[in-house]
Amino acid sequence: MSETSKAQFDAIVIGAGFAGMYQLHLLRDKLGLKVRVLEQGSGVGGTWYWNRYPGARCDTESHAYCYTFSESLYCSWDWSERYPEQPEIMRYLNFVADQLDLKKDIQFDTRVSGASWDEDVRCWRIMTENHGEYTARFLITAVGCLSAANIPNFKGLDSFKGQWIHTGSWPQDGVDFSGKRVGLIGTGSTGVQATPVIAKQADHLTVFQRTPNYSVPARNAPLTEDFKRSVHKNFEEIARNMKATTNGHPWGVENRRAVETSADEQERLLEAAWQVGGMQFRAVFNDIMVDEAANKVMADFVTRKIRETVKDPTTAEKLTAFDHHYSTKRPIIDSHYFETYNRENVSLVDVKEAPIEEITPRGLRTSDGTEYDLDIIVFATGYDGVTGPLTRLNLIGRDGLSLGDVWQEGPKTYLGLQVEGFPNLFTITGPQSPSVLTNMPVAIEQHAEWIANAITHIDQIGASCMEPTSTAVNEWETQVQKAAQATLLITAKSSWYLGANVPGKPRVFLPYAGGMARYRDICEDVVEQNYKGFKVA
């Protein structure tokens, strides 16, 4: 094969995490296409490959944070803990890649620098930084929703004499915190996970908090042999439930309204759910995301628990000065986060009151003039979520239009799967799909299967291109905004779901909030109506 023909593929997939691996399997092994996955990292794992920070762990229970397309694959893996830690997820994904013989078609250490649609030959030209150019009829992004780091543009960062790290690109060899004065900026899921672990190693840890977050105990624990056997035995039921629920988890929300429950009963139910811990805590009542009075029941309960846990009243006050309703920002579960503030070597600084003004050679200074001497600064400052990983790919569609330009005022897609003017581009868990509001592997499997079926359809009818119509895109945007407006999610003005964490990003609700089960039905209905809303030419 010549160098040129080697670089021609039916499909190029960008990213070798959960999404890219399954898409490769479907397109190569089920459809018989010539596929290549381009992956920036040196191994599979996607977001998990980079997120190696201390305490990195999934918030979905392990028996639901995995593929369910194959019972034999599901039953040939045993998880060790209730929530899988990053190294265990990496072992799982490597196991899957080996079982399905995926690695031979993944090109590692390959960063995509751009891609453009060539209308004359109806294919995508994909450029890489270090491995030349590829062409493919189909381009599928499997780049994750939280892979483009948000590093605030603090004045003086270059002058810092110590070490600074963003949690999403953690050094492979780890970071030694022993004897160090550590500053951690950010108290989202990442900061909340990292704080207790770093606190145990560091000489002193200062947490810089802009917005406090509600969090519920994860109650992580090793899994018993009985539990491991039972999930294998009940595979079908677990997989069926995950497909049927709004959130893609194997548990549903109770059919019970907080506002119709007596105060004593509310307390009893919440206390029991608090003891069980985890994301299910939200499932005690079905009105907390739509009714402010119901939501307040949860918010008050969690606030009281935090105040009971944190001994210093000033710190407790700062940790509970919430600016949003319970669970309207990404819900968090933790392992001894609030207890950590009772340690002598941990302090909390409110940077809403006095924002970080400058990073200095010795640490950082806040606007009230206080200087903090630090050896290491950890940026747990999150991501340019959902749209960032796509706009940073430099995708150019028909007529030289860039995705960044088309999405200047917020993402415009059809079903979060395709963008008008970008034929044959498919975006797994793209904006305006349920993605981050659901258990990701469930959303990923549904998208990858839908895309494989769409490609089969295109080939079966002898077409060459597929893209959405403007009408379908506009109607979907209305549905996405309506779904968000029907919930309290839209009220959390500091949420990254709305792009609020990235300066200059348009404030538009990014995921589809109508629920995974309903979304799946919509996608199936579109297919039944002969790919309604898509132009297949």
* Residue number with CB closer to ligand NA7 (204 or 330): 330
17 binds ligand NA7 (CB under 6 A): no
Which window, 208-216, 226-234, 254-262, 299-307, contacts ligand NA7 (CB under 6 A)? 208-216
* DSSP tally for the chain: helices H, then strands E: 17, 20
Considering only 68, 189, 245, 413, the residue that binds ligand NA7 (CB under 6 A) is 189
Which window, 278-286, 364-372, 379-387, 397-405, contacts ligand NA7 (CB under 6 A)? 379-387
380 binds ligand NA7 (CB under 6 A): yes
* Residue number with CB closer to ligand NA7 (38 or 56): 56
Q: At what angle do helices 235-244 and 225-233 cross, to 10 degrees?
A: 70
190 binds ligand NA7 (CB under 6 A): yes
Of residues 87-146, which lie at the interface with ligand NA7 (CB under 6 A)?
A: 146
Closest Cα partner for 425 from 163, 76, 137?
137
57 binds ligand NA7 (CB under 6 A): no
Cα separation of 30 and 25, whole Å? 7
Cα separation of 324 and 307, whole Å? 18
3-state secondary structure of 91: helix
252 binds ligand NA7 (CB under 6 A): no
H/E element, 325: none
Cα separation of 103 and 25, whole Å? 11
Considering only 185, 297, 454, 489, the residue that binds ligand NA7 (CB under 6 A) is 185
Shortest Å distance, C-beta 58 to ligand NA7: 9
Considering only 330, 365, 447, 520, the residue that binds ligand NA7 (CB under 6 A) is 330
351 binds ligand NA7 (CB under 6 A): yes
Encode 129-165: b = buried (16+ Cβ within 10 Å), e = exposed: eeeeebbbbbbbbbbbbbbbbbebebeebeebebebe
For residue 483, CA distances in Å to 249, 346, 365, 442, 487 come to 20, 41, 42, 20, 7
3-state secondary structure of 293: helix
Shortest Å distance, C-beta 280 to ligand NA7: 17
**Amino acid (1-letter code) at residue 337:** Y
Q: Would you say 346 and 207 are in contact if contact means Cβ atoms under 8 Å apart?
A: yes
Considering only 211, 280, 435, 439, the residue that binds ligand NA7 (CB under 6 A) is 211
* Residue number with CB closer to ligand NA7 (152 or 533): 152
387 binds ligand NA7 (CB under 6 A): no
Which window, 129-137, 205-213, 301-309, 481-489, contacts ligand NA7 (CB under 6 A)? 205-213
491 binds ligand NA7 (CB under 6 A): no
H/E element, 273: helix 263-276
Q: Would you say 288 and 295 are in contact if contact means Cβ atoms under 8 Å apart?
A: yes
What residues line the site for ligand NA7 (CB under 6 A)?
Answer: 146, 152, 185-191, 208, 210-211, 330, 351, 356, 380-383, 436, 494, 496, 501
